[in-house]
Amino acid sequence: MTRVCFLLAMAVAATAAAQVPPPAVSVREAGGAYVVEARFDIAAAPAIVRAVLTDYAGIPRFMPDIRTSVVRSRDGNAVVVEQEAESKFLMFSKTVHLMLDVREGAHVLSFKDIGGKSFTRYEGSWTLSRNGAGTTVTYMLTADPSFTVPGGMLRRLLDRNARQTIDHLRAEAVLRATSALRAAR
């Protein structure tokens, strides 16, 4: 019975996610680093989207490329999160390590890698704004890997990863919104 409820909830989430326009994603090179910019809508309230983004320990459950995500420290709105992810593209596979210094604002979550293991620069933000009953999200990332990857491949990898992250984020937020509605009834 639980599996049937889960599958039904996933179908509802996928349907709701499909009803929003596709994300606008761009990846460009700037000064040796790559800048990813994305803007997209999610059919869930900003509080729910924020809860998904700040569910650091739960991220591996709904973001399959992230193997581990552990909160190392928290002091008010400052959180240090250690993550390990595996990125795959064609025959390329790379494990990346991040030690993210996250600043949790009411509408903006900014992050910066302070570990320096996989990137010489990795920083960005998630900005949330109400859009009717849903949320418009603006995502920014500047990434300069410390490993060698052909530029064209890295651009395609960053674009694909951004789109997959958006899809997973949308699905999880809509799933939580649907569950909250059911619980309120």
- Residue 123, pLDDT score: 98
- Residue 16, pLDDT score: 46
The predicted model scores a pTM of: 0.85
pLDDT tens sequence for the chain (185 residues): 444 344 444 444 444 444 678 999 999 998 889 999 999 999 999 999 999 999 999 999 999 899 999 999 999 999 999 999 988 766 667 899 999 999 999 999 999 999 999 999 999 999 999 999 999 999 999 999 998 877 678 888 899 999 999 999 999 999 999 988 788 87
CB 41 within 8 A of CB 143: no
Residues 6 or more apart whose CB falls under 8 angstroms from that of 70 comprise 56, 57, 81, 82, 83
Pick the CATH number of 2-184 from 3.10.350.10, 1.10.3720.10, 3.40.50.2000, 3.30.530.20: 3.30.530.20
Phi–psi pair at 31, nearest 5 degrees: 60, 35
- Residue 87, pLDDT score: 80
- Residue 82, pLDDT score: 98
